[in-house]
Amino acid sequence: MSVAGVWRALSPRGALALRAVDGALLFAVRAALAMGLIAVPLTATGRPDLAVYAMLGSFTTTFGRNMPYGRRARVLAVAALAMTACVGGGSALAAWAGPDRSAPGVAVVVAATALVAGGAKLACDAARLTGLGAVLLLFSFAVSANAPSPWSEVPYRTALAASGAALAWLLALSGRLVHPERPQRLAVASALRRLAELLEAAEAGPVPARVRHGATVAVLRAYACLEERPPDAPGTPRPARGQAVFTCLTDLSWTLLVGTAGGIPAASGTARSLRCQAALLTARHRRTPDVLPELRRVPAAPAVAPRATELLTGRRRRVRADRLAVLAVPALRMALGTAVAGGIAAALNLEHGYWASISAAAVLHSVNLRTTAQRAVQRVLGTSAGLLIALGVLAADLRPVVLALVIVALEFLLEYVVPRNYGLGVVFLTPMALLMSDLAAPSPAGQLVVDRVLGSVVGIGTGLLCALLVVHDRAAVRVDRALSACRAAVSEAERTLSGATGAPSSLVQARLATAAVELRDADDAAAGELWPAGIDPTELAATEQRAYELLARLHHRT
């Protein structure tokens, strides 16, 4: 392995980059309400120690960002059960093992925490759930498993976690009553913006593969989101009209996407019109905007776009087979890093040793070694800034109710900024975790901060070391299989164009687009590992380019 290869994998470049996010404000408001509506009144009654468990249950809301309401209801129901199980299981384990009473109990809790970390990482990756989901599941379990817990308290803690999770579920779906088309609007607006970037890049010269990949993913996600459109309410044609507008705009995005791949230039000013249309979609009024006249005039071939159901079916088949093997290594890294960090913290006799485990898991909750290094940089900078906030709040010696309100405010800020940059999220996650610990069991401010600093140092260092030592050779295997799958899709498209096969054009396009997206994803994931893929990059680029060229020919032949 060359020095250049090691630097490429460990480079923190991009750690401070900000991403554009739609709908973050309303999502953050719902998250704060889910946390505060039960926890604050419970704190006012004199039980701040129990209010923490309602807060843990409210973390359920983090799983539902920008999902269509049908899928959001299903995913959050499972997440609510998982979060409740983490709190209930952790509380029962604390009552049985007694980590506050014996060293064997600490060892049992550290091992159980590692198993939960690996399982949460594997489950979230297999379900393609991004964000802090796996880390918050682990946090809920670790807090519950490390708090002194008599058996009589276990049912109350579990019930409060379930209440917080249920309230989060209700609030996450409440938008359906006011803005039933909101997820579709955001998904289509994202596709339009990515297409605008693609058209602007095409005007400047050859389109970078990463830009085309991002636009393809955004358009396919828009189609997938439209598959779960809201049902037409009696007497209200708005959802049906909205669906027609969204489908028209997504079909237009698909036509422009494949048109640029086929060398067909877009009309001057189309990129600007796409951005204007996206701004109309993300506006907070309820009326569904019409398609702008200038976009209606864009020449378009008949839209035979890939159906989202076909796309998702193919992806699920891969999850059941090859992809689970690929996902096993990141899950193993996370479990191992959590166990080692927790063991070191126990050996150092840290009062809040589970913070080391959570820090290691947060660093290892990543795609590859490169993103692990980026998370480490973000964690260091974010924790440093967050500790200053925590020190200021703790020094004020606030009453429990006020402290609970501060935690709710930090949750709002966390959910508002974390999609833009994980490091910004850590700035608010760090004081929130410290203040929740202080709310449950008040401790000297200095001791809390020292434990947090030591836990972060141990966790971040352990996480990086585990990422280096546990080599992810399956990422290279994924690239090889993705290349073979893309070649097969290219061959099928060529046979379809020659008339040698009667496969439906929409199905062939779906397979070709999916194969091209998977090839780019696999190559990006492997590029951030120490184990090289061993495939000529020009071969990968040529296959990907050929896939998009055939995609354009298939589309314009119809």
Average confidence (pLDDT) over 309-330? 56
Rounded to 5°, the CA angle 201-203-204 comes to 65
Work out the pLDDT band at 90, boundaries 50, 70, 90.
very high
Which pLDDT belongs to residue 305?
A: 52
The predicted-structure confidence for 220-268, as pLDDT tens digits, reads as follows 888 888 875 544 434 444 445 667 888 888 888 888 888 887 777 777 7
Average confidence (pLDDT) over 427-454? 86
Q: Are 139 and 433 spatial neighbours (Cβ–Cβ below 8 Å)? A: yes
Work out the pLDDT band at 14, boundaries 50, 70, 90.
low
In Å, how far are 182, 252, 364, 386, 479 from 465, measured between CA atoms? 42, 47, 10, 24, 25
Which pLDDT belongs to residue 232?
A: 43
Q: Does 270 or 504 have the greater pLDDT score?
A: 270
Q: Per-residue pLDDT for 286 more than 60? A: yes
d(C-alpha 125, C-alpha 127), whole Å: 5
Q: Per-residue pLDDT for 1 more than 70? A: no
Work out the pLDDT band at 312, boundaries 50, 70, 90.
very low
Q: Is 556 exposed, middle or buried (0-12, 13-18, 19+ CB in 10 A)?
A: middle
| Residue 343 host element (H or E) | helix 324-347
Which pLDDT belongs to residue 253?
A: 87
Q: Are 252 and 294 spatial neighbours (Cβ–Cβ below 8 Å)? A: no
Counting residues of the chain whose pLDDT is more than 70, the rounded percentage is 85
The number of angstroms, rounded, from the C-alpha of 444 to the middle of its chain's C-alpha atoms is 35
Which pLDDT belongs to residue 325?
A: 63
Q: Which of 426, 329, 424, 285 is nearest to 118 (CA)?
A: 329
Q: Is 455 exposed, middle or buried (0-12, 13-18, 19+ CB in 10 A)?
A: buried
The predicted-structure confidence for 342-374, as pLDDT tens digits, reads as follows 999 999 888 888 899 999 998 888 777 777 788
The predicted-structure confidence for 172-208, as pLDDT tens digits, reads as follows 998 888 888 888 889 999 999 999 999 888 888 788 8
Average pLDDT, the chain: 82
**Total-model pTM:** 0.84
The predicted-structure confidence for 71-88, as pLDDT tens digits, reads as follows 899 999 999 999 999 999
